[in-house]
Structure 1
């Protein structure tokens, strides 16, 4: 599945604030909660999860 222009912006948001990138991709779901918890535990796990969600959907 090719990346679109909006995916690039979501990826940029995911670097600075990972939950925002996930929210823009899937909305308010369990993935957002998981990403918030991962971001609180460490910034890098939140970024990795955000990129995973952006590429997956």
Structure 2
């Protein structure tokens, strides 16, 4: 159930999904930078899903 909530959070706000999974680590900051850029937002979603589903 927790993974489903993280996936939903990752689709709506990718850095939140990563934060809920790993905290304020390297993956969070990478995802935040990707989410800030206009063209990086879809990439941020993919990155967030990757982090959530592989851990």
TM-score scaled by length of structure 2: 0.91
Aligned equivalents of 2:35, 2:46: Cα separation in 1: 10
Q: Name stretches of at least 5 consecutive residues in structure 1 with no aligned partner.
A: none
Which residue number in structure 1 is paired with residue 24 of structure 2?
A: 28
Give RMSD over aligned pairs: 0.7
Runs of 4+ in 1 over 6 A off after TM superposition: none
Task: Quote the offset at 1:34 in angstroms.
Answer: 0.4
Aligned equivalents of 1:45, 1:39: Cα separation in 2: 8
For these two proteins, the number of residue pairs brought into alignment is: 53
User: Given the alignment of the two structures, is residue 8 of structure 1 paired with residue 4 of structure 2, yes or no?
Assistant: yes
TM-score scaled by length of structure 1: 0.88
